[in-house]
Amino acid sequence: MNQQSSSFLGSEEQPLTTPTSDERTMAILSHVLCLVGGFIPPLIIYLVKKDESKFIAEHAKESLNFQITCIIICVVLFISIIGIFLLWLLGIVATVLIIIATIRASENKVYRYPFNIRLIR
């Protein structure tokens, strides 16, 4: 996958092969379903589709890692008293980044979240 652009909002890569519309749909779902289901939807999509499509696997892994990173940050913020007031800011930033990732998936690009701990490789 070729690196195309990078910014503080993340980076995007062009996949080696053009994904099918079904692959694109599953990649979009791996991001957008996080808004209602947390880390569960990308985990299920990754486990079911990881051997079928590299495009879907990349999006699901990236989304899953981002959700895990958000959970870790939430726990750290919740432990610190002042951090409780910053949880709303994390929610806004996470929502914006999920929307950007969804748009990139619809454009057949692989999106990399900024500040992401990549535990699943």
Q: CA–CA separation, 64 vs 81, rounded Å?
A: 27
Please give the model's pTM, rounded to 2 decimal places.
Answer: 0.85
Q: Which pLDDT score is estimated for 57?
A: 93
Backbone phi, psi, residue 109, to 5°: -120, 150
Q: Which pLDDT score is estimated for 19?
A: 82
**Residues 92, 98, 99, 101, Cα dihedral to 10°:** 150
Positions of the chain with pLDDT lower than 50, given as ranges: 1-2
Question: Where are the domains positioned within the chain?
Answer: 2-68+96-111
Q: CA–CA separation, 10 vs 36, rounded Å?
A: 22
Q: Which amino acid is at 27?
A: A
Q: Which pLDDT score is estimated for 18?
A: 82
Taking only the tens place, the pLDDT of each residue in 37-68 is 989 999 999 999 989 999 999 999 999 999 99
Q: Which pLDDT score is estimated for 5?
A: 54
Provide the H-helix boundaries in the chain.
21-32, 34-37, 40-49, 54-79, 87-106
The encoded tokens of residue 97 equal 């980044």
